[in-house]
Structure 1
């Protein structure tokens, strides 16, 4: 067997392992948060080397199905349930069994001509809310939300968020999200963001920008979020329809 055949054999083996474990995870046989067997156990189960197991686990990690923690092992991330961010992150994560704590960094009146022009808002007078969110012992997101400076929302810099939920405050002000758009990208965090999140500058985070509107097209919120990809992932469902 030449070198090419050896590499091909290893590739096929790790793909077989990754496919088998992915099937178990997606079927629910392995629940979110459950620890996978160790490398030695997996190598024995599949009759391969530990190096082949590592390659398979790296593939599952890249796919967002597991996370591997140095010295602790690999744990399931995927639970098969969509997360509805329309509820607000706190409720959406809680619905998945993930308890989080939110810390408000600041609430300020902000005049943003550029954002107002981009979103075609009637007024550039906005309220900016900055928050970080933690799960377990680490921070997993940094969020900046702009809401209209109207009615009771004008008082947010003084009164703060009642109960910590911006979604509830918006609803109480008569602003119910009906539709909107969201964009997803990824980027390295800068020095200030790294300091706020307790991470290293340049670490890669998911970046979402979501703008929401009421049923009568009144502006509700524009939120720019940095999300730790170890705790968040994007899942799209689609169907293909053929035209006659």
Structure 2
């Protein structure tokens, strides 16, 4: 077995053993960053890195003390592990059809976020329920790193944007999210099989890594018959 030398890897391995052994129930809330930092005598940044490893392994889904969470039919979805995984956790079967993966310039996004290069990888996907009903259009823009520039040719890692970002060393840590309603344009209505002008929820989420590197700008159109947004505050 390879030696685990990094502090955050040792912490992640220790917590993973506790989860897999049943000492900590899978999916249960772990102690806060401050408490874990004291327990392992490390910084909070090291704890965040350890939690990112556990999230990548699918053992936990970390949440901030306050924030916003998307609900599907009243059930909370944690987008940190990807919506396909989050929906599956609630027994909701969906399938994604990739509409586009392309390397494109987005000077507006680069200007808003202060990115050095305007180039991003654009990913557009249509989500459908098992009966074929289209419930969302999900569009992401991720950094055009050298390890990601061939993504239009090779496709996503196991069909997952989250897994693709992890492979490139981009682990989502914190985000800002906005929600509003707006009518579908003609192209969107055609993809979703709805009349043009139908109102959908429009979400925008910008995510960064623990060291504040831009990781993803996600733009979604969600069927309000199924999706809503829940705001939580405090612990």
Decide: shared fold, TM above 0.5.
yes
Aligned to 1:175: 170
Structure 1 residue 238: Cα displacement: 2.9
Q: 1: distance between equivalents of 2:154 and 2:123?
A: 12
For residue 156 of structure 2, the aligned residue among 152, 161, 185 is 161
Count of residue correspondences: 164
Structure 1 residue 239: Cα displacement: 5.0
Q: How does 1:150-229 map to 2 (within 5 A)?
A: 150-229=145-224
For residue 138 of structure 1, the aligned residue among 127, 133, 138 is 133
Whether the 8 Å CA contact 1:128–1:144 is kept in 2: the answer is yes
Aligned to 2:76: 82
Q: 1: distance between equivalents of 2:76 and 2:196?
A: 30
Q: 1: distance between equivalents of 2:123 and 2:76?
A: 26
Structure ranking higher in helix proportion: 1
Q: 2: distance between equivalents of 1:224 and 1:124?
A: 17
Aligned to 1:70: none
Structure 1 residue 151: Cα displacement: 2.5
Q: Does 1:93 align with 2:102?
A: no
Q: Does 1:148 align with 2:143?
A: yes
TM-score normalized by the length of structure 1: 0.64
Aligned to 2:12: none
Q: Does 1:117 align with 2:111?
A: yes
Aligned to 1:104: 98
Q: 1: distance between equivalents of 2:100 and 2:234?
A: 42
State the Cα RMSD in Å: 1.9
Task: Specify the structure having the higher radius of gyration (Cα).
Answer: 1
The unaligned stretches of length 5 or more in structure 1 are 1-64, 66-75
Q: 2: distance between equivalents of 1:105 and 1:165?
A: 14
Q: How does 1:17-56 map to 2 (within 5 A)?
A: none
Structure 1 residue 82: Cα displacement: 2.2
Report 1 or 2 for greater relative contact order, CA contacts < 8 Å, sequence distance ≥ 6: 2
Structure 1 residue 77: Cα displacement: 3.4
- Name the SS of the counterpart of 1:140 in structure 2: strand
TM-score normalized by the length of structure 2: 0.66
Aligned structure 1 segments of 4 or more residues deviating by more than 3 angstroms:
none
